């Protein structure tokens, strides 16, 4: 796994571009900090969208049942495997790490299986 840093001036364009590629993916969102330890916010649920708004300085990750907002993100690192975003790590101004893992959803068994 090789993480690449995305510079802040490119965040909005990057997430607008990658959002279309993420349709149909499942996501897990983990939050880690010294104050709260490690917590799973969402576990392999459908990803509905991702965007960065530079005016409010908020990175939004929408998954089924949860809107995860990262206010004042300071650093964004992405892991791209085979040309597709596999995970990303966002560190906010409180030094909280938000780890978003992505994968193809598991196929459901067909009728009569």
Domain range summary for the chain, segments of one domain joined by +: 3-103
pTM of the model: 0.87
Q: According to the model, what pLDDT value does residue 1 have? A: 59
Sign of the torsion angle spanned by Cα atoms 60, 47, 33, 91 = negative
- Say what the pLDDT of residue 69 is: 97
Given this model, what pLDDT does residue 19 score? 85
Q: Along the 113 residues of the chain, how does pLDDT read in single tens digits?
A: 578 999 999 999 999 998 888 888 999 999 999 888 999 999 999 999 999 999 999 999 999 999 999 999 999 999 988 878 899 999 999 999 999 999 986 555 555 55
The topology under which CATH files domain 3-103 is Protein Yojf; Chain: A; (2.70.180)
Residue 105's pLDDT is: 65
Q: How many CB atoms lie within 10 A of CB 111?
A: 5
Tell me the DSSP string of 2-68: -EEEEPGGGHHHHHHHHHHHTTT-EEEEEEEETTTEEEEEEEEEEEEEEEEETTTTEEEEEETTEEE
Checking 69-78 for CB contacts under 8 A at 24+ apart, the result is: 70/98, 73/11, 75/5, 76/5, 76/6, 76/8, 76/11, 77/3, 77/4, 77/5, 77/6, 78/3, 78/4, 78/6
Extract the tokens encoding 27. 């996501």
CA pair distance 25, 94, nearest whole angstrom: 29
């Amino acid at each position: 796994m090789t993480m690449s840093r995305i510079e802040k001036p490119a965040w909005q364009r990057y997430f607008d571009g990658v959002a279309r590629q993420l349709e149909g993916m499942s996501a897990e969102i983990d939050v880690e900090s010294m104050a709260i330890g490690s917590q799973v916010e969402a576990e392999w649920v459908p990803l509905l969208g991702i965007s960065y708004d530079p005016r409010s300085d908020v990175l939004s990750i929408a998954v089924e049942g949860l809107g995860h907002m990262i206010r004042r993100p300071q650093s964004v690192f992405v892991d791209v495997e085979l040309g597709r975003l596999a995970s990303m790590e966002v560190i906010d101004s409180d030094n909280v790490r938000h780890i978003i893992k992505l994968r193809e959803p598991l196929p459901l068994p067909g009728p009569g299986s």
